[in-house]
Structure 1
Amino acid sequence: MSDTPTQTADATGAAPPKTGIIVTVLAFAGIVVSLMQTLVIPIVPELPKLLNAPASDTAWAVTATLLAAAVATPIAGRLGDMYGKRRMLLTSLVMVTAGSFIVALSDSLTPMIIGRLLQGLSAGVIPLGLSIMRDELPAEKLGSATALMSASLGIGAALGLPLAAFIADNFDWHILFWASGVLGAICLATVLLLVPESKVRTGGRFDFVGSVGLAAGLVCMLLAISKGGDWGWGSGTTLGLFAGAVIVLVTWGFFQLRVDAPLIDLRTTAKPQVLFTNLAGLAFGFSLFALQLIVPQIMQLPKQTGYGLGQDLLAVGLVLAPQGLVVMIAAPLSSKLSQARGPKFTLMVGALVVAAGYALNIFMMSEVWQLVVVSCIVGAGVGFAYGALPMLIMSSVPVSETASANAVNTLLRSIGSSLASAICGVIVSTMTINFGGHDLPSENSFKVIMAIGCGAALLALFLASFLPRQRAGVVGHGAPAEAVTEAAH
């Protein structure tokens, strides 16, 4: 068989696990994996001393995870569609667990980077979880479940910082990774025991050449984005990597259009609903991460600057933690709104809320409570949007491509976050004031970033307006796209 999905009946006749258990286990796994984004942040300044290595080398503890996640996400999605989503989910959880324990046992740079690399390889958990939900849950449960699973990316990132800061401030730094290893092992055990293997499969061969090409292109692009500030944006290395990324990815695209079983079906990706949903995901990834970059800096700058709040990292985490809770609360509300008005409407509402949060942030940044309010507003918008994104994707692609399509959307959100990091880094390093003999980010630099974050959300709103008109409803058990989308593609 080629790309026709197959589904066989359960020969044992055993009752399937309750849907609530499946949703809880998968969402918890998504939150644990997304925690890895912020797990290392509290100890980054201390890594050169802890690992006895220069700062330029210890920065790879962050970069390695970013690159591995970008490469693993689309590949895990495709392999899940072909060989079993639960199987690839378990493989991803083995990676995060093993990587955590390797770092927990390390005191030098090399095992730290290896462990963080393995943690990054677990990034496919969220798109795989979304795809299992589509295959296993009844239609009436799918909307709220996928909203929560998609939002787990924002929930874990927001909750991870205060937890990591508390542990780093009060215990040995290795405890961070012992804890993440234990959480990974719990996820592994619960998925193994409680989550069924989807019987939906895609035929064909795995596109090894396409996976190598995509990996090479993404590594070149993200390495240039993440390290360009250190190497110089006009340096030969940075420009060479950007040029290499363009050449490799364009060549890869031509190749994908000519193979029978591509890693990513670009023709499906080019459909208006999929294309504009992915572009909106890129913009939302930027908006979410921009706030998480500027709030810690505003909080920790000295009060004597006139705009810094002079707080420690734990206080930063406590300011951002409510955002994760708001994202969690907004996810089921997102599902209800999508059922009533359609996911396109929900996505546009989310974009407006995020834009409003950043606009308020331009004028509300002088008190801790103001940053809490703004982060919660942005969190609500992200919760609505992240709940709508997978529904838009799943209503537009065949069941046999669910995991790989969701993986592409997740990848673009991550690329948006990487762009936010690079652009914010340039702004705060160029718009500075001299304070005590040191150059510090100016107040205007933060306001510029807030304005850009607002603009990114408005861009997402603009892109969402091009989505085909939809009626209310959800897609479950592999329902065709036509069940939800009225417009022709």
Structure 2
Amino acid sequence: MTPAPPTTGHTQSDQPPAAGLSGRPAGILITSLLLGVLSFQLNASMVTPALPRIGEHFGAVPADVAHVQSMFFLAGAIAGPVVGRWSDFIGRRTALLLVLAVMAAGTLLCLAAPTLPVLVAGRFLQGASSAVFALSYMVLKENLHPRSFGTSVGVVAAVNGGVAGLDGYAGGLMTETLGFRSIFVVVLLLAAVAVLCILKTVPAGRPTGAGERMDWWGAAALSVFFVCLSSFVSAGSASGWGSPGSLALLGATAASFAAFWALEKRRSSPLIAVHQLRSRQVWPVIATTVLALAGLFAIMNFTVVLLSQDSATGFGLSASLSALLFLTPAALIGVFAAPLAGWLAGRRGWVMALRLGTGLSLACAAGAALFAQHQWAVLVCVAALGVFYNGFFLTAINGLSVLLSPREAPGALPGINGASFGIGASLGVVLVAPFAGQGTEAGYSTALWISVAITAAAFLVSLLVPAPQQDDR
């Protein structure tokens, strides 16, 4: 496939390394970035098992407790594209330190929160740390030797699926023995160590060719769009897609995106130029991410979870055994598969790795749907997603978001792609929930086949993703 014109996001800081880091210096840099990434990931995964205790502590109903997570991920969706692009102007290290400082402030607020709304406000601030993923990928691209970039992306992407499936278990254990606030103490200490290491290892300076100044109007419009889109998805799933409130939010979503589009056409240094949004270097990456997350996240983290614990028409497992069999293996396998996928992508082609991961993930999804009533068949299919989804897909799509980002806005595509993860996951769960929630054999089967169809669409769109200039094989 012929690549698009050479506008890939290769950037240089004011003081770039002569030939790129490798060996021990590269390992130290990767470790420092991993500490920052873990600060976000533990915030996301360790709090999940603590939600019931948080509700009991504040005397809140589940619908209100859900905001503890929803506001965290909403902030991440906003921070990803905004901070990613802003880092083009203030430098990657400054941006990393900024988001970790905001996260630390939110963590202190959570530790002292006297009420649930205050805790939710702290969680919103913590969610800004989602941008650390996109920032880390860009730091790796700009400072490592090209031969080390693929493997390093895989190492960071491996954390995106959790810490070998043990972080959720640790969060539950800490909640039971020390209280849910102990989780925030761990996160705060880890963030402090990450800040010290980033100050020591991440080079200062800003990329060249970033433009004149940050497009704050475009950032505001895009943020409003994400808020409206998230609210529409929540309202649609709760009140029905045709309810007056849902339709009003749909109109607000369309209007905010139209405003963003109009603003970007007039800016000299846009958040991301509209002609780039239309190009094959940008929209197929975003669409593949949204569709793949919608299809595969819903299978792994929703439908199969319900199916495995359903004693009437499912496998009748306890919550802990369900997690041990259907969540932990994929996460653990992904820890080893992702670096291997990055190594292979750097040598055989990033697009090849993406299509391999998406295509074989589709096969796994179809297998789970075909044999939905056979526990061990579903277990094998979901575990295999640890290789092809957690390993190959996540590594390839994150690497491509950096390599294909426009030269004039190298932080734009990684940030928007990061936000697309949350959008896709939310949409997938919302689409299958009415069927999986029926608790019937037909309902589970329908939910799984919907996910298969969405994943098939992701594979078809992935065929349109062009090879980066340096990856043209």
TM-score, normalised to structure 1's length? 0.85
What secondary structure is seen at the aligned counterpart in 1 of 2:405?
coil
Instruction: Please give the per-residue CA displacement for 1:68-98, whole angstroms capped at 9, x wherever unaligned.
Output: 1111111110111111111111111222233
CA contact (8 A) 2:358 2:458 kept: yes
- Determine whether 1:272 maps to 2:283: no
CA RMSD of aligned residues (A): 2.7
Pairs within 5 Å for 1:215-226:
215-226=223-234
The equivalent residue for 2:6 is none
Going from structure 1 to structure 2, the CA distance change for 1:143 and 1:279 (only over 3 Å counts) comes to same
Over 3 Å counting, the alpha-carbon distance change for 1:193 and 1:218 in structure 2 is same
Distance 1:150 1:187 in 2: 17
The range that moved more, 161-170 or 115-124, is 161-170
Say whether the 8 Å CA contact 2:158–2:339 is kept in structure 1.
no
Q: What is aligned with 2:368?
A: 361
| Aligned position for 2:443 | 445
Distance in 2 (CA, whole Å) between partners of 1:395 and 1:23 is 18
Is the 2:341–2:396 contact (alpha carbons within 8 Å) kept by the matching residues of 1?
yes
Alpha-carbon deviations, 1:395-415, whole Å to 9, x = none? 333455222221111111221
**Shift of residue 348, structure 1, vs aligned partner:** 0.9
Q: Deviations over 1:93-112 (max 9, x none)?
A: 22223323322333421221
Alignment of 1:330-369 (within 5 A): 330-364=337-371
Q: Following TM superposition, by how much is the alpha carbon of 1:450 offset from its aligned partner in structure 2, in angstroms?
A: 1.9
Shift of 1:46: 4.4
Distance 1:190 1:288, change over 3 A: farther
Unaligned runs of 5+ in 1: 433-440, 471-480
Aligned to 1:172: 179
| Equivalent residues, number | 458
* Structure 1 residue 121 corresponds to structure 2 residue 128: yes
SS at structure 2 position matched to 1:379 = helix
Judge conservation of contact 1:284–1:460 (CA < 8 Å) in 2: yes
The residue that corresponds to 1:205 in the other structure is: 213
Give the drift of 1:370.
4.8
Question: SS of 2:162's equivalent?
Answer: helix
Read off the aligned partner of 2:169 and give its amino acid letter. P
Question: Where in structure 2 are the equivalents of 1:37-436 lying within 5 Å?
Answer: 37-156=44-163, 158-201=165-208, 202-290=210-298, 291-301=300-310, 303=311, 305-313=312-320, 315-316=322-323, 319-364=326-371, 370-382=377-389, 383-399=391-407, 401-429=409-437, 432=438
Secondary structure in structure 2 of the residue aligned to 1:448: helix
| TM-score of the superposed pair, with normalisation by structure 2 | 0.88
CA 1:356–1:444 in structure 2 vs 1: closer, same or farther (change >3 Å)?
Answer: same
Does structure 2 conserve the Cα–Cα contact (< 8 Å) formed by 1:35 and 1:157?
Answer: no
**Distance in 1 separating the partners of 2:164 and 2:102:** 19
Which residue identity does 2:445 align to in structure 1? K
- The equivalent residue for 2:14 is 8
Instruction: Report the alpha carbon displacement of residue 368 of structure 1 after superposing the two structures with TM.
Output: 6.2
Superposition deviation, residue 371 in structure 1? 4.9
CA contact 2:306–2:436 (8 Å) conserved in 1: no
Cα distance in 1 between the residues matched to 2:430 and 2:195 = 34
Q: Do the aligned partners of residues 357 and 164 (structure 1) sit closer, same or farther apart at CA in structure 2, a change above 3 Å counting?
A: farther
- What is the distance in 1 between the residues matched to 2:337 and 2:84? 26
Instruction: Go from structure 1 to structure 2 and tell me whether the alpha carbon gap of 1:372 and 1:198 turns closer, same or farther (over 3 Å shift).
Output: farther
Letter in 2 for 1:8: D
String of CA shifts for 1:179-232, please: whole Å, max 9, x gaps. 222222232222222222254242412112111111111101111113432333
1:484 partner amino acid: D
Indicate if the aligned counterparts of 1:217 and 1:249 stay in contact, CA closer than 8 A.
yes
Mapped partners of 1:179, 1:379: distance in 2: 27
- For the residue of structure 2 that corresponds to 1:82, the secondary structure is helix
Q: Which residue of 2 aligns with 1:454?
A: 452
| Segment drifting more, 349-358 vs 35-44 | 35-44
